[in-house]
């Protein structure tokens, strides 16, 4: 599937119940050849409204995290989510919803072919590594997703609620930058 076919398939997807309450599916944004790929959990209310990932409060923090790496949305970066449709009430997507959406994210990753993947939060970490443990214990290691190096850090929405952990996220970003440079 090329980008156009993939975008249409996601737009019209009815593979899980999340399609029932969405305003629109939120595909992903950024350079189609980005060396950095950030993966979040799923759209919230703002994203459901605007059709772009990470445009609400968490998105502002993500943009700040990107700026700290001297990266910017749309340049060298692609941003996608595990699920493309907003879970009602912003609940965590169910495993079967993440599984129903897996082919779409997998194809995005195949097409972008990033040099490094950064999983933002537990949902993305579990989906892309299969590792089931606390986020704190998953940080600081390099994983591989289909041969692509992958690192894990806190989700920006979590950081907004737990400001002291921002320092740890900063450590993770430095680790990501080193991993990227070595990849
Ligand atoms: N949180 C996410 O995980 N993704 C978004 O797109 C917005 C908020």
DSSP string, 153-168: E--HHHHHH-GGGHHH
Q: Is the CB of 123 under 6 A from ligand 1?
A: no
pLDDT in tens, 9-49: 999 999 999 999 999 999 999 999 999 999 999 999 999 99
Residue 132 pLDDT more than 90? no
Residue 40, domain extent = 3-182
pTM of the predicted model, to two decimals? 0.97
Question: What would the pLDDT profile of 138-150 be if each residue is shown by its tens digit?
Answer: 999 999 999 999 9
For residue 80, what pLDDT band results from cuts at 50, 70 and 90?
Answer: very high
Ranges of H-type helices in the chain: 3-11, 45-50, 57-68, 95-112, 122-129, 135-138, 156-161, 166-182
Residue 136 main-chain phi, psi, to 5 deg: -55, -35
pLDDT of residue 143: 98
Kindly state the DSSP code that residue 72 receives in the 8-state scheme. B
Residue 87: φ, ψ to 5°: -70, 130
Tens of pLDDT, residue by residue over 86-102, are: 999 999 999 999 999 99
Q: Give, in order, the Cα–Cα distances in Å from 170 to each of 31, 70, 126.
A: 24, 13, 21
Cα of 41 to ligand 1 centre, how many Å? 6
CATH number at 159 reads 3.40.470.10
Distance CA 169, CA 91 (A): 23
Question: What atom of ligand 1 comes closest to residue 58's alpha carbon?
Answer: 8
Verify whether ligand 1 is closer than 6 Å to residue 44 (CB atom): yes
Question: What per-residue confidence (pLDDT) applies to 17?
Answer: 98
Residue 111: the pLDDT is 98
Q: How far is CA 54 from the centre of its chain?
A: 9
43 lines ligand 1 (CB under 6 A): yes
Total count of domains within the chain = 1
Q: What is the pLDDT of residue 162?
A: 97
How many A from CA of 156 to the centre of ligand 1?
A: 9
Q: What share of the chain is helix, strand, coil (3-state, %, to 5)?
A: 50, 15, 35
């Amino acid at each position: 599937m090329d980008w156009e076919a993939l975008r249409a398939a996601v737009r019209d997807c009815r593979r899980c119940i999340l399609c029932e309450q969405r305003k629109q599916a939120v595909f992903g944004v950024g350079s189609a050849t980005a060396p950095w790929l950030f993966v979040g959990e799923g759209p919230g209310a703002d994203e459901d409204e605007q059709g772009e990932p990470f445009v609400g409060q968490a998105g502002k923090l993500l943009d700040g995290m990107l700026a700290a790496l001297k990266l910017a949305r749309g340049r060298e970066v692609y941003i996608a989510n595990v699920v493309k449709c907003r879970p009602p009430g912003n609940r965590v997507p169910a495993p079967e919803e993440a599984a129903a959406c897996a082919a779409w994210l997998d194809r995005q990753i195949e097409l972008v072919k990033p040099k490094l993947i950064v999983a933002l939060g537990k949902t993305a970490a579990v989906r892309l590594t299969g590792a089931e443990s606390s986020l704190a214990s998953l940080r600081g290691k390099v994983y591989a997703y289909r041969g692509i190096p992958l690192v894990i850090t806190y989700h920006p929405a979590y950081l907004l609620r737990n400001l002291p952990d921002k320092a740890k996220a900063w450590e993770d970003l430095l680790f990501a930058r080193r991993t990227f440079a070595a990849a």
